[in-house]
Amino acid sequence: MKKLSTITLMILTIMSLTSCEIIGGIFKAGVWSGILIVVVVVALLIWLLAKMFGGRRD
């Protein structure tokens, strides 16, 4: 009986989500992760260049 309810729950979950919604969710997560990584890399490059070429101004 427990196995039957698990299978029923899995089938309902699969039927309630369309493939477009799943792919859309994955794409949104990927886009935001990519944006975050790019922002961090650009910030690190700016900081590194400022340290290398900025020098101290007394």
Kindly report, residue by residue over 1-58, the tens digit of the pLDDT.
677 788 888 787 777 766 677 777 778 888 888 899 999 999 999 999 999 888 666 5
Per-residue pLDDT, 56: 62
Per-residue pLDDT, 29: 83
pTM > 0.85: yes or no: no
CA 26 centroid distance within chain: 8
DSSP secondary structure letters along 6-47? HHHHHHHHHHHS-HHHHHHHHHHHHHHHHHHHHHHHHHHHHH
Rounded to an integer, what distance in angstroms lies between the CA atom of residue 31 and that of residue 27?
Answer: 6
- Calculate the CA dihedral of residues 5, 9, 11, 14 and round it to 10 degrees: -170
Rounded to an integer, what distance in angstroms lies between the CA atom of residue 27 and that of residue 36?
Answer: 14
